[in-house]
Amino acid sequence: MSTLKIDGAINKLANDLAKIKENSKKDNNEFNEVLQEAIGTLSKIQKDADEAVKELVKGGDIQKAVLAMEKADMAFNLMVEIRNRLINAYEEVQRMQV
């Protein structure tokens, strides 16, 4: 009789682990999507800055070019800081003892 209770508990644990695994895959995909979107946005901002500089060379507005360059610089610095924080978090997890 106690064997049945243990078997039931093991089955429940296995089901719970399967659900956790499915949720972690979904979370991982969502995290990847967020990173892909952020990188895409950064790329677009940098392309816009490049276009503004090309327009400036052709006699365009200097204020527009400077603003686009500053926006690109700030976005890049933000992305670098996010990367640094992610690396620090990863290293912290690696240092954890199981």
How far apart, in Å, are the Cα atoms of 34 and each of 30, 38, 51, 90?
Answer: 6, 6, 26, 18
- Give the pLDDT confidence of 23-59 residue by residue, as tens digits: 666 666 787 888 888 888 888 999 999 999 999 999 9
For residue 86, give the nearest of 10, 32, 45 by alpha carbon.
Answer: 32
CB neighbours of 95 closer than 8 A, spacing ≥ 6?
Answer: none
Average pLDDT over residues 91-97: 90
CB-based burial label for 72 (10 Å; 0-12, 13-18, 19+): buried
Top-confidence residue, 86 or 25: 86
Residue 7: what pLDDT?
58
Residue 55: what pLDDT?
93
Instruction: Give the whole-angstrom CA distance, residue 71 versus residue 51.
Output: 13
Helices vs strands, H then E, count in the chain: 2, 0
| pTM for the full predicted model | 0.64
Report percent pLDDT > 90 for the chain: 33
Domain boundaries, the chain: 2-95
